[in-house]
Structure 1
């Protein structure tokens, strides 16, 4: 049974971008800023002290099971 909150397409893309830039993080204030905030609220991303966002372990797991799985 599916029990995970639904991710809009834009938020799925934002999560994928977080996995691509791993150590660098994504700065706030870009077009995907609202999605980064939403992902942070869901526990899939977090804001770092330097103002950039990075994926959490939960975000990396969600990406692996939902987004990367479709690319394989």
Structure 2
């Protein structure tokens, strides 16, 4: 049974961009702010309070399952941001 909150296409794209940003995060004020704020409420994103968004562990896991299409606990052979 599906028990996770649905992510719109725009939110999946915003999550992917956030994961690609890595340790520097994404600055606030971008077009994907509404998606990042929405995902912050879901626990996938955190705002550092200084104008940057960062992915959480939960967000990384969701990104892997939904965007990269990998199973829980597994990593892709060559992760794009490593």
Structure with more of its chain in helix, by fraction? 1
What residue in structure 2 maps to residue 33 of structure 1? Answer: 33
CA distance in 1, matches of 2:17, 2:63: 10
Normalised to the residue count of structure 2, the TM-score between the two structures is 0.81
CA offset digits 1:10-49 (Å, max 9, x no partner): 0000000011001010011110010110010110000013
Distance 2:6 2:35 in 1: 13
Q: Are 1:45 and 2:21 matched, yes or no?
A: no
C-alpha distance in 2 between matches for 1:50 and 1:44: 18
Aligned pair count?
71
CA RMSD across the alignment: 1.4
Unpaired stretches in structure 1, ≥5 consecutive residues:
none
Gaps of 5+ in 2: 71-75, 77-82
